[in-house]
Amino acid sequence: MAGFGDHKKSQKKIKKNLKNNYFKEQIIQNAFKFHTEGNISEAIKYYKSFINKGFEDKRVFSNYGLLLIRLGKLKEAEFFTRKALQLNPNYAIAHSNLGGILKELGKLKEAELSTRKALQLDPNIANANMNLGGILIDFGKLKEAELSTRKALELNPKLADAYSNLGLILRDLGKLKEAEISILKAIELNPNLALAYFNISTLKYSNKNKKWQETLFSENFLDNKSKKDQVNIYFARANILHNEKKYQESSRYLQLANELKLDFKKSQSDYLINKSKLLLIETDKEGINQKKITQYPESIFIVGMPRSGSTLVESILSMNSKVFDLGEVNILEESFLQQKNIDQKFTLTDIYWNKISKYTENFYITTNKWLYNYQYAGIISREIKNAKIIHCFRNPLDNILSIYRANFTRDNEFSSSLRDCTKIYLDQEEIMSNYKNRFRSKIYDLNYDSLVSNSNKEIKSLISWLDWQWEDSYLSPHLNKRSVLTASSVEVRSPINVKSIGGWKNYKDMLQPSIEILNQTERYRNLLL
């Protein structure tokens, strides 16, 4: 009888499990259906229902993570994607998704590891190849990024995001026409891909196809878009209107974009200002470098605010065949922290050059355009052997406007607040003034307005200060074939011009918060006169 009873219980349990499994699969299929159709709210509802009932499925956790990415909830997305990997450590799709999340979080090295793990498990995941391309863009490895992105398109010729990314790569390689074609292809495949509209708005696009602009400005284009997508749309609209000289309308979209961006990308102005003060104190410490002097190649640090002409200066200098431009790499700070906390037996110069040697090969001169090295200008002057610093600056309102108009994907979080932009501008000016008084021979002042107004004179003066042999090619940096990974990647392909000087006057009303702060300083009190 006991055995019979156990059999009945067993049968009930089987039926219950079958029912539960059927119920689970129903929820999963409904979630997948809405997800595929793009009905995000309904898909989320079903995914949440599944999870809240205590069910576990690697596909659900992974897909739910994808939707959370779209909502800008990156930490939650990471959590559920890692849950999928706990259930199956060899789930290639989840490794790929995790790589995308980590990239968005700015954890590029971890992102690369996760993405390469996905491709190790399955080399034919189109999204993983595309994501790897995006990561390699951020590392400045554009040729590798192009190969990876084209591989993604071989695997999935309808992958709109890959065409958009390829357009960015081609733009930064100076292939502007090819870039336009690629991004338009992305929009053709996915007319709702907000990032593609922003990407093409940064180009000097042709007027042959303006259909995408009609879509961009359509009343319902913002429907069901994430905050991040809305930011891209607003910036894209602002760019188009700016090009059409409709500055008031452009202002409206710039303010909408930046206000929304601050909701998920908080300004870090206080952190930067406090850091400047701490490094000023650090520079005053005695006996930082008591080691023997070793011969090192020439290292040029280009510092200042974003959008201050630094990319133009970098392009001018890299016309010299002996120069290797590192781009925007925060290697000096890494070296400083390592020397201070771990390797005090080595000089800062030793550690720094050890880190960059893998990039420089046989080049005799390097340029480093991590702009926030202005905070380290004192330490560079005292510690880095054979180093020179070029401080780029321009009219503060032109500079602030240019920063506010740039849709930075990483760093420069203060860019979405005019007040914070202004505070950072004044901080870097004050900090650099202090270092110039103490290390005058090490630091060169380069005024962007003077550079573009009288390029022949200013470039010759700069080259003379560097003690380089003159070459006429310095006057034509727009012919430089190097890749450019900054917001100035398009402008720097044009001959030097004065178009941006005084541009702030078109946005005078919008810039009032900055004007109020600047007018409180003696130096800029008469800026509007």
pLDDT 10s digits, 408-424: 877 788 999 999 999 99
pLDDT 10s digits, 29-78: 776 676 666 666 777 777 777 777 777 778 878 888 888 887 778 889 89
Q: Checking phi first, is residue 365 left (phi over 0); if not, alpha (psi -120 to 50) or beta? A: beta
Q: Could you identify the residue written with the tokens 């810039």?
A: 511
pLDDT for 489: 56
pLDDT at 19 over 90: no
pLDDT for 343: 59
Q: Checking phi first, is residue 412 left (phi over 0); if not, alpha (psi -120 to 50) or beta? A: left
| Residue type present at position 487 | A
Task: Kindly list the domain boundaries of the chain, sorted by start residue.
Answer: 269-518
Q: Which CATH architecture has domain 269-518?
A: 3-Layer(aba) Sandwich (3.40)
pLDDT for 224: 83
Mean pLDDT across the chain? 85
Per-residue burial over 485-500, b if 16 or more Cβ lie within 10 Å, else e, is bbbbbbbbbeebeeeb
pLDDT 10s digits, 189-228: 999 999 999 999 998 776 666 889 999 999 899 998 888 8
pTM (two decimals):
0.85
pLDDT at 379 over 90: yes
Compute CA distances 101 → 38, 43, 57, whole Å. 20, 20, 20
Beta bridge partners of 324: 366
Q: Which of 101, 146, 151 is nearest to 126 (CA)?
A: 151
Answer for the pair 195, 137: CB distance below 8 angstroms, yes or no.
Answer: no
Answer for the pair 259, 417: CB distance below 8 angstroms, yes or no.
Answer: no
pLDDT 10s digits, 102-132: 988 888 889 999 999 999 999 999 999 999 9
Half-sphere CA count of 212, side-chain side, radius 13 A? 30
H or E, element range at 269: helix 269-283
pLDDT for 511: 97
pLDDT 10s digits, 282-330: 888 755 544 555 567 889 999 999 999 998 999 899 888 888 888 888 8
Q: For residue 317, give every residue at least 6 positions away whose Cβ sits within 8 Å of its Cβ, in sequence order, or none.
A: 300, 323, 325, 367, 466
Between 268 and 481, the more confident residue is: 268
pLDDT at 4 over 50: no
Q: How far apart are CA 520 and CA 20, in angstroms?
A: 69
Starting from the edge strand earliest in sequence, which strands make up the sheet with 323-327, in order? Answer: 323-327, 365-368, 298-304, 387-393, 443-447
